[in-house]
């Protein structure tokens, strides 16, 4: 429970404290924020009025597990003075859809400040995905707040999805992120010269241990080494995102199980994604029976990291889940990938924010089905920046020269999976469909004129037949 179930009006002590609003939509994100607070990255607790704003951003929130039902949530919220259900606050509107019209934003700020006991001081607004609602709506409402962005996964290494409003970008103080790929710097928000700051590993691992401790009563997550799963496979929610069909996603999970069985694991735990709808696939159960593998599925909603901490598996398998890297970074558990080639081909549009996490996993982790080791060309940073430039060239023009040089040296049979030839052609980069090593003589304008002339000539020839 939060320290307060009911607030008072912003008078007395509350009015003297610095207001801090933390927006969260996942338990992993809440754990990241908790670690940042524990490490003192937001100052002392007794100097702030901390409000945790909980948003369920699932397409159909009623089908996703509420954060309050997940193991460890009660411990997370003790770090905050008040917990607010954002979905209930704006009901019947969806958190991803609602944003106040500009002239109403000051009114909403006054309403929320009074309702949440925030006083009148300059606030700290701590959000994820600042370009999208509900974070974008909160940034508009609290127009004078200092904005801190936290990234709870591999997406921090990718580009900002779209240009930010001119009223928001200058207020961003920093980007907080986990050091999931040591040495790799986040591309997110770098075009605005926003500095990045890592959440200390020790603080984050301590929060994960806290979450693990309360997962001890799930019979499907055994601590006994005799019953513990040798491998954990990570489910995602690719069908609900429209990336794969339901049948294709079920088959992807079955491929993971078969690959784990082929690697010698006789007991496998399937960890569904917490945002995925509550459904269980018979396809995975059948694959387990066909392979002679015992399949375990948690009966309580909990983080994948709580499973790692309790079961100590020997292998973690997934497609492009961030948990693959938390397994390796924080628990020393080897991770392997399955299905990244399919997703690299299917992911649309090219600038889809999942592309960089997918690229990182494909480049750095071995393929469990083929036993092929990762073949990343040296440091993964240049590859990630090149993919990031191709995703958002207008926002990162300063990366063009590096991207051109990297593609000129490395584009080939192994690396072309990270790019689309049409994309490279439109950007006049090596690997394109255009002549002269990816550059059409005269540049893009000349290429467009040549195409128009060619189409016109083709129509004339057709007319003479």
* pLDDT tens string 29-47: 999 999 999 999 999 999 9
Q: CA 34 to CA 50: how far, in whole Å?
A: 12
pLDDT at 450 over 50: no
d(CA 50, CA 19): 6
pLDDT in tens, 59-85: 788 877 889 888 889 999 999 999 999
Helix, coil or strand: residue 377: coil
Per residue in 137-195, pLDDT tens? 999 999 999 999 999 799 999 999 999 999 999 999 999 999 999 989 999 999 999 99
Taking the C-alpha atoms of residue 51 and residue 32, their distance in angstroms, rounded to an integer, is 16
Instruction: Tell whether the model's pLDDT for residue 9 goes beyond 50.
Output: no
Give the integer Cα–Cα distance in Å for 40 and 123. 17
CA distance 332 to 313: 10
3-state SS assignment for residue 267: strand
Mean pLDDT of 192-215: 94
Q: Are 433 and 422 in contact (CB under 8 A)?
A: yes
Do 391 and 349 form a contact (C-beta atoms < 8 A)? Answer: no
Nearest alpha carbon to residue 175 among 155, 153, 197, 191: 197
Fold of 215-364: Rossmann fold (3.40.50)
pLDDT for 358: 97
For the CA atoms of the chain, what is the radius of gyration?
24
DSSP string, 298-309: -SS---HHHHHH
Confidence of residue 112 (pLDDT cuts 50, 70, 90): very high
Residue 177 pairs with which residues in a beta bridge? Answer: 151, 198
13-208 classified as CATH 3.40.50: yes
Rounded to whole angstroms, how far apart are CA atoms 20 and 418? 40
Q: What are phi and psi of 84, to 5 degrees?
A: -120, 130
Q: Which spans in 238-354 are helix H?
A: 246-262, 282-291, 304-311, 323-331, 340-346
- List, by residue range, all CATH 3.40.50.1980 domains of the chain: 215-364
User: Does residue 454 have a pLDDT over 80?
Assistant: no
Q: Look at residue 442 in the predicted model and tell me its pLDDT.
A: 46
Closest CA to 70 of 33, 107, 36, 27: 27
**SS3 of residue 10 by DSSP:** coil
pTM of the shown model: 0.86
For 136, other C-beta atoms within 10 Å of its C-beta total 18
């Amino acid at each position: 429970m939060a320290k307060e179930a009911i607030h008072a009006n912003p008078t007395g002590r509350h009015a003297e404290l610095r207001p801090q609003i933390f927006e969260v939509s996942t338990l992993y994100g809440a754990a990241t924020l908790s670690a940042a607070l524990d490490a003192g990255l937001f100052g002392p607790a007794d100097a702030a009025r901390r409000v945790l704003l909980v948003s369920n951003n699932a397409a159909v929130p009623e089908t996703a597990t509420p954060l309050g039902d997940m193991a460890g949530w009660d411990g997370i919220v003790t770090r905050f003075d008040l917990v607010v259900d954002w979905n209930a606050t704006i009901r019947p509107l969806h958190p991803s859809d609602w944003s106040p019209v500009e002239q109403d934003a000051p009114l909403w700020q006054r309403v929320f400040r009074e309702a949440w006991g925030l006083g009148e001081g300059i606030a700290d607004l701590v959000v994820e995905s600042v370009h999208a609602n509900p974070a974008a709506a909160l940034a508009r409402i609290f127009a004078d707040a200092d904005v801190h962005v936290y990234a709870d996964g591999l997406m921090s290494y990718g580009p900002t999805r779209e240009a930010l409003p001119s009223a928001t970008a200058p207020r961003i103080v920093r980007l907080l992120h986990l050091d999931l790929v040591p040495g790799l710097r986040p591309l997110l928000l770098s075009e605005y010269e926003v500095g990045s700051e890592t959440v200390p590993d020790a603080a984050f691992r301590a929060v994960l241990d806290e979450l693990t401790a309360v997962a001890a009563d799930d019979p499907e997550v055994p601590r006994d080494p005799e019953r513990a799963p040798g491998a954990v496979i990570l489910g995602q929610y690719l069908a609900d995102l429209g990336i794969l069909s339901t049948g294709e996603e079920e088959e992807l999970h079955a491929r993971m199980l078969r690959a784990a069985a082929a690697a010698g694991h006789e007991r496998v735990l399937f960890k569904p994604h917490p945002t995925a709808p509550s459904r269980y696939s018979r396809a995975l159960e059948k694959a387990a029976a066909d392979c002679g593998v015992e399949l375990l599925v948690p009966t309580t909603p909990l983080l994948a990291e709580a499973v790692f901490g309790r079961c100590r598996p020997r292998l973690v398998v997934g497609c492009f889940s961030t948990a693959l890297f938390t397994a390796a970074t924080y628990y020393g558990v080897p991770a392997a990938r399955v299905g990244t080639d399919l997703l690299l081909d299917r992911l649309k549009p090219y600038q889809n924010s999942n592309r960089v996490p997918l690229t990182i996993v494909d480049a750095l982790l071995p393929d469990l089905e083929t036993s092929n080791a990762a073949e990343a060309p040296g440091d993964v940073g240049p590859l990630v920046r090149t993919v990031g430039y191709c995703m958002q060239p207008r926002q990162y023009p300063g990366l063009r020269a590096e991207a051109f040089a990297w593609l000129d040296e490395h584009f080939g049979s192994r690396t072309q999976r990270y790019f689309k030839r049409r994309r490279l052609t439109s950007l006049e980069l090596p690997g394109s469909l255009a002549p002269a090593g990816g550059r059409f003589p005269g540049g893009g304008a000349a290429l467009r004129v040549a195409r128009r002339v060619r189409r016109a000539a083709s129509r004339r020839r057709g007319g003479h037949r």
